[in-house]
Amino acid sequence: MKDRLILTSDRLQLIPLQHRELLLWEKDRHELERSLGLQPSDMLVDPLFRKEIDDALPHWAGQTRRHADEYYWYTNWEIV
């Protein structure tokens, strides 16, 4: 797998989640946040959006497993 890709500016980071991070998220969102060096928080989103995320997570995980070298095309990006 290639080195980790993170897009940064003075105020923002965009982090494409790798396969193992998506699996962490499926299990426990706070564990994902800790693995990224973030303070665990409550992700406050509309329930419909949360359902969309929950439905998409298995798809992203499968795609990032199949396309490990180009995972960033097939994943969700964390905005920090």
pLDDT tens, position by position, 24-69? 999 999 999 999 999 999 888 999 999 999 999 999 999 999 999 9
CB 63 within 8 A of CB 75: yes
Whole-number Å distance between alpha carbons of 45 and 68: 29
Domain membership flag for residue 2 = no
**Confidence grade of residue 2 (pLDDT, cut at 50, 70, 90):** low
Report the length, in residues, of the chain.
80
Residue 18 is part of which domain span? 7-79
CA distances from 55 to 18, 34, 40, 69 (A): 17, 23, 22, 24
What value does the CA radius of gyration of the chain take, rounded to a whole number of Å? 13
Q: In the prediction, which pLDDT does 4 show?
A: 83
Looking at the structure of the chain, the number of domains it has is 1
pTM across the whole model: 0.87
Domain membership flag for residue 1 = no
Domain membership flag for residue 75 = yes
